[in-house]
A and B are shown apart, each in its own frame.
Chain A
Amino acid sequence: MTAEIIFEYFIFFYGSLLIASYLMLAIFSMITIIKYKNYNSNLDDETLYTSDITPGISIVAPAYNEEKIISTNVHSLLALDYPLFEVVIINDGSKDKTLDILINEFSLVEVPYAYVEKIKTKPVKRIFKSTNPLYEQLTVVDKENGGTKADASNAGINASVFPYYLCTDVDCILARNTLLKMIKPVLINKKKVIAVGATMRMVNSCEVKKGILIRVKPPKALIPRFQELEYIRAYLLSKMGWSLINCVPNVSGGLGLFDKEVAIRAGGYDGKSHAEDMDLITRMISYMINNKQKYVVDYIPLSCCWTEGPPNLNILARQRVRWSAGLLQLFTVHRKILFNPKYKRIGLVVFPYAFIFEFLAPLVELGGIISIIYLLFFGKINWDFALIIFLFSYCFTVMISTLVVIWDNITFKYYRNFTEVLKLILVAFLEPILYHPLITFFGIRGYLKFLFSKELKWGTMTRKGAHSN
């Protein structure tokens, strides 16, 4: 058997397995979403809101050079609907006026604070509280720059007081009921829920007033619109699907609710990780397994967080290179988990799936491109069949994306009219041709960067702050 035939068989089985996994996830996510819709109602929010024993939540939001948006977005976090919460903002040695703006806007003064370093971080310089009773839930931690979001988040966890923390970015706009919705899986589950995630979307063209989301719209620019569809698919299809069998691979760093005690015992975020969110979940799960405790990582199908998507190719490239470098780093650091029965689901399902269909995918696609060039060169392509195969992959991709848009509309109708939904569906037709090749390219660049360069910085993104009016 020649290498050519072996590769063809490999691609056939790889592709078939990938398609089968998507179909399986579609069924799983449908079951989970229907179950969620059936057994949750807005009446629960009222119950939770008025209860005397509702658990407190700390919102932990690191900030680095966020002067354009910091004020508006902290106001937005303080305006969330929940009976017992605090907002902890960590200024990670910003070089701009982030801290000055916070001090002036929220009437902050330095206070003596019994800060316990449960997780090691770069030194904390000062802790501020507001003299204005309106902002009594706000704590601002000013620390030396740790170089990563992970280090700043750890300082926020150390300074927080409640048993659960919601990790987010200061550039994110949260739905007002986010805390009410995200704590619910923790409360209803008999097993210990160590983390809960929810869907994130793009804020780029949404109407936001004083940090409050007024109207959701699909992004006008093509790149954030591609990413909106990609996010909805990743959350509603993949993460919701995996949550049915408690195999959620990751809770996003942009929005995730975590059990503080377990996060601390697992060592908090790894300051050296490029993918600190997936790394934390992996370590929290490992901690639970090593200590023979049952755990759940859950997801809710609601969109609770709107973040600014990369407005151009440069920023998209930076984001994706960082993510894929993080993925490779994760498999390097936690290699003992892969295919290890001791780690149960994470060892036998989560890691193998992520390794085969996420980590290897860009490499397989690169192999496919090289193979096509080779076949083209030797005139070995059967164009009729090639076209049929291409058409099949294309139709399947569009079908999955359309299905996800339906799920999204069944869960909640975020867009006002059909035209806006249509705009999102239309990018599903362009995505496989325009967006996906770029993602593959950036993915490979990320692997190369991880292998040949050790540079690691905050996931900086040039903020337009366009939504912050």
Chain B
Amino acid sequence: MEWQDPVMAGGRLGRVLVVDDVEIVRKSIRTTLANAGYEVVEAENDEQAIRVMREMTDMLPVDAILSDLRMPHINGTELIAYFRRQYPMIPVVVLTGYPDVELAVSLMRQGVMDFLVKPVLQNELLTVVKRAVEQKGMRKQQVIS
């Protein structure tokens, strides 16, 4: 029988954590992902993101993380490092307003799955999120088998 992710059973396609301080960014991503069949949990800063993740009882509370890097009062790089350390199985996608190639390379080396520069079109966003959720499924399956 094919392995089934318990979280994926909640949202039709999976659950995604979206971290961004700008309300309209969260709103447009939330609506886009929800329309496509994902369940979305949101956080507007690092503290909220960490709390949201800790409050969920599952070992792997979400299938993918989509996070901004530079938000007021947040060092996004530290937040990404936290996610990679605490949840190495969950793919992290960075969605940032700063087109910084050096930073992108450095984050990819730290295990970030993709580095998107705002603005991105719906299709691009959905393709990357789909790939991230599938990657998490594959990683988990590898660990189980």
The answer to whether A and B come from one shared complex is: no
